[in-house]
Chains A and B, each alone.
Chain A
Amino acid sequence: MTTIDAPRSPRMTRTTRRTTRGNVEMVGWLFMRISGVVLVVLIFGHLFVNLVAGEGITGINFGFVAGKWADLRWQIWDLLMLWLAMIHGANGVRTIINDYAEKDSTRLVLKVLLLTAFVTTVVLGTLVIFTFDPCPAGSPADLLPSFCTA
Chain B
Amino acid sequence: MTATLSEPAAVGEVPTFDVTLRIRRFTPETHGDEAYWQEFTIQAHGTDRLLDALHKAKWDVDGSLSFRRSCAHGVCGSDAMRINGRNRLACKTLLKDLDPEKPITVEPIKGLPVIKDLIVDMEPFFASYREIMPFLVSESQKPTKERLQSAEQRERFDDTTKCILCAACTSSCPVFWTDGQYFGPAAIVNAHRFIFDSRDDAGAQRLEILNDKEGVWRCRTIFNCTEACPRGIEVTKAIQEVKRAMVTRAY
Q: Which residues of A contact B (CB under 8 A)?
A: 1, 3-4, 6-11, 17-23, 25-26, 28-30, 95, 99-100, 102
Partner of B217, one of A10, A18, A20, A28: A28
Are the CB atoms of B178 and A102 closer together than 8 Å?
yes
**Residue of A at shortest CB range from B250?**
A22
Let me know if A11 and B177 touch, CB within 8 A.
Answer: no
- Provide 12 A-B residue pairs closer than 8 Å at the C-beta atoms, listed in order of the A residue: A4-B177, A6-B180, A7-B124, A9-B113, A9-B124, A9-B180, A11-B131, A18-B212, A25-B215, A25-B218, A26-B211, A99-B220
Contact A10/B123 with A20-B208, A22-B250 known, Cβ cut-off 8 Å: yes
A26 touches B35 (CB 8 A): no
Nearest opposing residue in chain B for A22, CB measure = B250
Interchain CB contact under 8 A, B178 and A26: no
Which of A7, A19, A21, A23 is B112 in contact with, Cβ under 8 Å?
A7
Q: How far is the CA of A129 from the CA of B131 in the complex (A)?
A: 51
| A residues near B11, Cβ cutoff 8 Å | none
B247-A26 in contact (CB<8A): yes
Q: A20, B211: Cβ atoms under 8 Å?
A: yes
Of B131, B209, B211, the residue contacting A23 (CB under 8 A) is B211
CB of A72, distance to nearest CB on chain B (Å): 31
Q: Please, which residues of chain A bring their CB within 8 A of the CB of B123?
A: 9-10
Q: With A7-B179, A23-B217, A25-B217 given, can you name 20 additional A-B contacts, CB distance below 8 Å? A: A4-B178, A6-B114, A6-B121, A7-B111, A7-B176, A7-B181, A9-B121, A10-B123, A11-B128, A17-B208, A18-B212, A20-B208, A21-B208, A21-B249, A22-B211, A22-B250, A23-B211, A23-B213, A30-B247, A100-B178
- Using Cβ atoms and an 8 Å threshold, which residues of chain B touch A18? 212
Which residue of chain B has its CB nearest to the CB of A28? Answer: B217
Nearest 3 pairs of A and B residues by beta carbon: A7-B180, A6-B113, A25-B217
B116 at the interface (CB under 8 A from A): no
> Cβ of A19: which chain B residues have Cβ within 8 Å of it?
208
| Cα–Cα distance between A19 and B177 once the two chains are bound (Å) | 27
The one of A10, A17, A102 that contacts B127, using a Cβ cutoff of 8 Å: A10
Q: Is B110 an interface residue (CB 8 A)?
A: yes
Contact A17 B209 (CB under 8 A): yes
- Binary contact track B175-204/A, C-beta < 8 Å → 1, others 0: 111111100000000000000000000000
Complex CA gap A100/B175 in Å reads 9
Distance between B170 CB and nearest chain A CB, rounded to angstroms: 10
A8 touches B217 (CB 8 A): no
Measured CB to CB, the nearest residue on chain B to A33 is: B247
B219 to chain A, nearest CB (A): 9
Closest Cβ of chain A to B101, distance in Å, is: 22
Q: Does B243 sit within 8 A of A, measured CB to CB?
A: yes
Partner among B127, B213, B250 whose Cβ is within 8 Å of the Cβ of A11: B127
Which residues between 126 and 172 of chain B lie within 8 Å of chain A, taking CB atoms?
127-128, 131
Report Cα–Cα, A1/B128, bound state, in Å: 28
Q: Is B15 in the interface zone, CB < 8 Å from A?
A: no
Q: How far is the CA of A29 from the CA of B177 in the complex (A)?
A: 21
Say yes or no for B3: interface residue by CB 8 A criterion.
no
CA A8 to CA B111, docked complex, whole Å: 10
Bound-state CA distance A72–B211 (Å) is 41
In the bound complex, residues from chain B placing their C-beta under 8 Å from that of A102 are: 178
* Chain B minimum-CB-distance residue to A11: B127
